[in-house]
Structure 1
Amino acid sequence: MNERTVITFGTFDVFHVGHVRILERAASLGDRLVVGVSADALNVRKKGRAPVFSQEERIEIVSALRCVDEVFVEESLELKGDYIRKFEADVLTMGDDWKGRFDEFSSLCEVVYFPRTPSVSTTALIEHIASIT
């Protein structure tokens, strides 16, 4: 019997319950969960700012979760297909804020979009913390 591998990607900055829930949902779709943590430089390119926690710290946090089997650095959004092939992923999961953006990979694997956890947003958390300091 072949192991079913699930892959997902994210920045995972200012780690919160929404991150835990999406990773647990992703893990529930297979036997092995591989997580690509966005490189600091990628985060600057896609969000226009550096993450609060360094790439190494974010990798350490995500790696510590029992639902996560392997973590790697995601260097580029354009390499998603390469990462799917490299890790032999059967399923790609993403938050539904990316809905439709990765349908092109449905020829490589199943693509699943999960709803975001209501009222939890890393950006909103960062803005809130900045407003009270």
Structure 2
Amino acid sequence: MGRIITFGTFDVFHVGHVNILKRAAELGEHLIVGVSSDELNYSKKNRYPIYSQSDRTTIISSLKFVNEVFIEESLEKKIEYIKEHKADILVMGDDWEGRFDWVKSACEVIYLPRTPSISTTEIIEIVKTI
């Protein structure tokens, strides 16, 4: 048991987000969530999130199993964030399998299965067609 950290955009919040955050929280006693900044999201996906970083942070902070929330400004600072927040385990969705193994010198890395058949990108595409 220990301090768990995870990262994400958490835009258009859905049950898949709840599931992975809840399962991450169950791995320790303190869950820390890095929410991607609007600028970081733009650099990754070439679009801004639907909801602002302030709104996304408020949504994540409201979850009873989340203990701490901060804004992630840079993908390259993962190890710094892990050390700064004294995390023992990094949890990511299995769609990122192997892509965060480079932080194993700083903490354990666990990839959890995603909730099938739901993604923010799919939700946004469906809404665009309505």
TM-score above 0.5? yes
Taking the aligned partners of 1:126 and 1:114, their CA distance within structure 2 comes to 23
Report whether the alignment pairs 1:16 with 2:22.
no
**1:103 matched to which residue of 2?**
101
Taking the aligned partners of 1:77 and 1:32, their CA distance within structure 2 comes to 22
Q: Which moved more, 1:62-71 or 1:104-113?
A: 104-113
1:106 offset after TM fit, Å?
Answer: 1.0
Match of 1:79 among 77, 80, 84: 77
Taking the aligned partners of 2:115 and 2:46, their CA distance within structure 1 comes to 23
RMSD: 0.7
Taking the aligned partners of 1:127 and 1:48, their CA distance within structure 2 comes to 15
**1:116 matched to which residue of 2?**
114
Match of 2:41 among 24, 37, 43: 43
**2:56 matched to which residue of 1?**
58
Taking the aligned partners of 1:77 and 1:4, their CA distance within structure 2 comes to 23
**1:34 matched to which residue of 2?**
32
**1:94 matched to which residue of 2?**
92
Structure 2-normalised TM-score? 0.98
Taking the aligned partners of 2:36 and 2:97, their CA distance within structure 1 comes to 18
Identical-pair percentage:
61
Taking the aligned partners of 2:54 and 2:72, their CA distance within structure 1 comes to 12
Moved over 2 A (4+): none
1:127 offset after TM fit, Å?
Answer: 0.4
1:107 offset after TM fit, Å?
Answer: 1.4
Taking the aligned partners of 1:114 and 1:87, their CA distance within structure 2 comes to 21
Letter in structure 1 aligned against 2:74: S
Letter in structure 1 aligned against 2:86: E
1:97 offset after TM fit, Å?
Answer: 1.1
**Where in structure 1 are there 5+ consecutive unaligned residues?**
none
